[in-house]
Amino acid sequence: MRELFAPAKLTWFLEVTRRREDGYHELRAEMTTLAFGDSLELDEAQDYLTMEGAELALDATNLVTRALALVGRRAGVHLIKRIPPGGGLGGGSADAAAILRWAGGVDVAAALTLGADVPFCLLGGRALVEGVGERLTPLIFEKRDVTLLVPDFSVTTALVYRAYDEMVAAGQRPSGRNHLEAPAVLVEPRLGETLAWARERFGEVTLAGSGSTMFVAAHVDAHRESWREEGPEGPVRVVQTTTAP
């Protein structure tokens, strides 16, 4: 039995640079891995997929299963989810990348077939990510304190990009540190209420990618690692962590 670590990815800033004719969106973003993530207990003599900590499909659509198929390997995998699904922290991509690393890795083009975040999650560290996730420029590692704010609801990425396109078509081009914040709030109004509460409670808060997780670029409490607070739309899990190489 081997244990693999699948670190979450944090999107420090995100700019949507254009929408391609094929419907995909090109980005310019800084991403970094965190010392917070999922664990995969792997048995090379077995063939199964089980999970705790979340309820996700365990069929051929699961990114762990798809990653194993990509590298032509079989294994028994028990996935311990800590990264929130739909939270914008690349949980499924991180899990797939952990499998790819165990199997010896693949090139960027192959990793991209599993998802736009998989190439970065496979690389890890800190990088400028451009295009649809295929252009990676490694950056010097900087250790940063991070506080994650995780509400009990998720946001669907495809709906966020659809809302982004509708805003652009209406003459409203999103801007700021994360171009997907405004469309994400349109998709999930509870996120807007929670962001407003978090900013009043913790100061400068940024949305993490296209999901529901928010973050502060600091530790907000010197005495705790993880706790829960009552936000305006339900409980919010607070996790203090750091960036990781």
How do residues 52-96 score in pLDDT, each as one tens digit?
998 888 899 999 999 999 999 999 999 999 999 989 999 999 999
Are residues 132 and 206 part of one domain? Answer: no
CA distances from 223 to 50, 102, 242 (A): 34, 36, 15
Cβ neighbours of 74 (radius 10 Å)? 12
For residues 178 and 208, what is the distance between their CA atoms, to the nearest angstrom?
Answer: 8
SS (H, E, C) 115-131: CCCHHHHHHCCEEEEEE
Mean pLDDT of 213-224: 96
For residues 163 and 223, what is the distance between their CA atoms, to the nearest angstrom?
Answer: 40
SS (H, E, C) 140-207: CCCCCEEEEEEECCCCCHHHHHHHHHHHHHCCCCCCCCECCHHHHHHHCHHHHHHHHHHHHHHCCCEE
Which of 97, 120, 138 delimits the end of a domain?
Answer: 138
Which of 83, 111, 138 delimits the end of a domain?
Answer: 138
For residues 10 and 30, what is the distance between their CA atoms, to the nearest angstrom?
Answer: 8
Are residues 165 and 133 part of one domain? Answer: no
The string of pLDDT tens digits covering residues 5-58 is 999 999 999 999 999 988 899 999 999 999 999 999 999 999 999 999 988 888
Are residues 194 and 98 part of one domain? Answer: no
Q: Are 151 and 188 in contact (CB under 8 A)?
A: no
Does 117 qualify as catalytic in the annotation?
A: yes
Give how far the C-alpha of residue 141 lies from the chain's centroid of Cα atoms, to the nearest Å: 19
Are residues 79 and 13 part of one domain? Answer: yes
* Longest Cα separation, the chain: 56
Does 9 qualify as catalytic in the annotation?
A: yes
Are residues 163 and 85 part of one domain? Answer: no
Q: Give the total number of structural domains in the chain.
A: 2
Q: Do you know the residue count of the chain?
A: 245
The conformational region for residue 50 under phi > 0 = left, psi -120 to 50 = alpha, else beta, is beta
Are residues 119 and 8 part of one domain? Answer: yes
In the set 95, 117, 145, 165, the catalytic residue is 117
Which of 117, 138, 159 delimits the end of a domain?
Answer: 138
Q: What is the pTM of this model?
A: 0.94
Are residues 116 and 29 part of one domain? Answer: yes
SS (H, E, C) 47-60: CEEEEECCCCCCCC
Domain of 158, in residue numbers: 145-244
Are residues 130 and 23 part of one domain? Answer: yes
Q: What DSSP character marks residue 30?
A: E
**Which domain CATH number covers 123?**
3.30.230.10
Are residues 95 and 210 part of one domain? Answer: no
Are residues 132 and 36 part of one domain? Answer: yes
Is residue 162 pLDDT above 90, yes or no? yes
Percent of the chain with pLDDT over 90: 95
pLDDT, position 55 = 86
Are residues 204 and 95 part of one domain? Answer: no
Cβ neighbours of 66 (radius 10 Å)? 17
Are residues 156 and 74 part of one domain? Answer: no
**Which domain CATH number covers 153?**
3.30.70
pLDDT, position 98 = 98
The mean pLDDT of the chain is 96
Please, what's the b/e burial string for 168-185 (b: 16 or more CB within 10 A of its CB; e: otherwise)?
eeeeeebeeebbbbbbbb
Backbone angles phi, psi at 236, to 5 degrees: -125, 120
